[in-house]
């Protein structure tokens, strides 16, 4: 009996063993293939980064080599600088540097990119490079030379010693203290040296991009947790005893409060407030959304009424989108006949019953200017319309205040319409007729005017 059983089981087990070996071999081959592809991608990104940093250094030199009055060459060189820094930033994002301190170098490249772009897009014939900007370029030229040399040293070691980026990724992912790694040490050196470069005066335009919106700008005294508890209860129409308040970021300039309204053991509503001034910056109704029963027009009417009731008068819906049976409206403050786009907020409406399920108002809170004085346009509507493409079919127009590419607030004529089968918003500067912005309007974002 045992001989007969063995005669049956032995071939079966042999087949299982052979199958397991084949499966293991294929799995190992696939794993090796993935690792090789990842390594090749890392190597390509790293060598491209070194190359583009070298080209960036050369392009900065080209900008400085020509006469200070050579606007055409300056524009061309600065656009190349912007393109090369964008390439370098993209390559950094492809490397496994998330656990490595390289943020100073990334910030340095970001500032160069914004400086080059915003300088090149302005009219250099009317506003040529200033002495401060030339001084900045000289400093950037010197700094980029040092970064390039450091990266090339790392590159030389990678090539000569056949170093692998996969080893870097595994080294950084390990929870234990790392042994020395040539690539990691090289990038740490670059990042450390960047912090030692002299601080540049980028000017107010560039500085405004990196000027983090802070509650320090809010002209109000800090509020207590008890005050926030009362505000949250009133906003949600809940019993104060059911509101739990926790402070976030205590002791920092980003200190804020989160208020949770409890109902039958669960969080029914959640709200975030600034500590300074107790301004509500977000609200969320945690209920489940059912099947769609409400159209966009009804949802907008409910959102309008919600904002009026909650103390946000004068808000106008400027765009709309739908996702997962939720209607998302973007509102901007209307001052007289001007839409103030920087002072905006988003409102979410459940399309099952039209109830507002949340809103986000940080832009409105930080950008709101109660004493804002609107400038007068130098161009009339007819003159502004003359700057449009003759084939543009205008559907509506209105006045709008926007922030342009230089982060400067400008008064514009907003024209909504279509051309080539697509709808657009075109913002024409009300002073000089320049096209400040062009936005494509998707069909789902079209409001009544469109």
User: For 378-404, how does the pLDDT look when each residue is reduced to its tens digit (9 = 90+)?
Assistant: 999 999 999 999 999 999 999 999 988
31-40, 409-418, 434-443: range with lowest mean pLDDT: 31-40
Residue 374 within any structural domain of the chain: no
The pLDDT score that the predictor gives to residue 331 is: 95
150-154, 161-165, 283-287, 408-412: range with lowest mean pLDDT: 161-165
Q: Structure pTM?
A: 0.66
Residue 373 within any structural domain of the chain: no
- 10 and 132 both lie in a single domain: yes
The pLDDT score that the predictor gives to residue 21 is: 63
User: For 335-355, how does the pLDDT look when each residue is reduced to its tens digit (9 = 90+)?
Assistant: 999 999 999 999 999 999 999
Residue 376 within any structural domain of the chain: no
Range of the domain at 439: 381-444
- 359 and 386 both lie in a single domain: no
User: For 16-72, how does the pLDDT look when each residue is reduced to its tens digit (9 = 90+)?
Assistant: 666 666 566 566 555 656 667 777 777 888 888 888 888 888 888 888 887 767 777
User: For 276-327, how does the pLDDT look when each residue is reduced to its tens digit (9 = 90+)?
Assistant: 889 999 999 988 899 999 999 999 999 999 999 999 989 999 999 888 889 9
The pLDDT score that the predictor gives to residue 56 is: 87
- 32 and 147 both lie in a single domain: yes
- 145 and 206 both lie in a single domain: yes
Report yes or no: 425 and 415 within 8 Å, Cβ to Cβ: yes
Domain count, the chain: 3
The answer on pLDDT for 13 being more than 80 is no
The pLDDT score that the predictor gives to residue 294 is: 92
- 179 and 93 both lie in a single domain: yes
Higher model confidence: residue 425 or residue 366? 425
Residue 219 within any structural domain of the chain: no
The answer on pLDDT for 408 being more than 70 is yes
Average pLDDT, the chain: 81
Cα–Cα distance measured from residue 115 to residue 124, given in angstroms and rounded to the nearest whole number: 14
The answer on pLDDT for 206 being more than 70 is no
Q: What number of CA atoms fall less than 13 Å from residue 54's CA on the CB side?
A: 12
- 304 and 403 both lie in a single domain: no
- 308 and 404 both lie in a single domain: no
């Amino acid at each position: 009996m045992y001989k007969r059983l063995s005669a049956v089981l032995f071939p079966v087990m042999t087949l299982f063993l052979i199958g397991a070996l084949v499966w293991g071999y294929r799995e190992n081959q696939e794993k090796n293939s993935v690792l090789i592809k990842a390594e090749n991608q890392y190597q390509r990104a790293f060598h491209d980064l070194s190359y583009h940093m070298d080209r960036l250094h050369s392009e900065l030199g080209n900008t400085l080599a020509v006469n200070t009055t050579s606007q055409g060459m300056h524009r061309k060189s600065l656009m190349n600088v912007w393109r090369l820094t964008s390439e370098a930033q993209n390559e950094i994002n492809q490397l496994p540097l998330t656990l490595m301190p390289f943020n100073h170098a990334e910030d340095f490249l970001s500032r160069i990119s914004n400086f080059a772009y915003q300088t090149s897009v302005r009219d250099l014939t009317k506003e040529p490079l200033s002495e401060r900007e030339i001084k900045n370029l000289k400093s950037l030229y010197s700094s980029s030379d040092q970064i390039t040399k450091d990266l090339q040293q790392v590159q030389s070691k990678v090539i000569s010693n056949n170093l692998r980026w996969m080893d870097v990724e595994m080294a950084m992912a390990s929870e234990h203290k790392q042994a020395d790694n040539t690539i990691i040490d090289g990038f740490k050196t670059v990042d450390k040296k960047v912090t030692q470069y002299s601080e540049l005066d980028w000017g107010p335009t560039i500085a405004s991009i990196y000027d983090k919106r802070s509650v320090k700008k809010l002209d109000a005294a800090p509020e207590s947790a008890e005050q926030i508890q009362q505000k949250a209860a009133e906003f949600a129409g809940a019993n104060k005893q059911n509101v739990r308040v926790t402070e976030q970021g205590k002791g920092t300039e980003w200190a804020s409060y989160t208020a949770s309204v409890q109902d039958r053991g669960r969080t029914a509503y959640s709200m975030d407030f600034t500590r300074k001034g107790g301004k509500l910056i977000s609200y969320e109704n945690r209920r489940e959304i059912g099947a769609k029963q409400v159209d966009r027009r009804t949802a907008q009417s409910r959102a309008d009424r919600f904002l009026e009731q909650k103390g946000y008068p004068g808000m106008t819906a400027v765009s709309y989108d739908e996702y997962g049976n939720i209607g998302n409206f973007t509102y901007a403050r209307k001052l007289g006949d001007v839409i103030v786009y920087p002072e905006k907020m988003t409102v979410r409406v459940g399309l099952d019953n039209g109830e507002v399920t949340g809103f986000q108002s940080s832009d409105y809170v930080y950008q709101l200017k109660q004493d804002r004085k609107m400038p007068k346009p130098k161009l009339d509507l007819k003159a502004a319309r003359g700057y449009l493409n003759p084939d543009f079919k205008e559907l509506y127009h209105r006045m709008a205040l926007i922030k342009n590419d230089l982060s400067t607030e400008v008064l514009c004529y907003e024209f909504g319409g279509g051309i080539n089968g697509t709808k657009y918003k075109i913002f024409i500067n009300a002073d000089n007729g320049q096209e400040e912005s062009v936005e494509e309007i998707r069909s789902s974002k079209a409001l009544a005017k469109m």
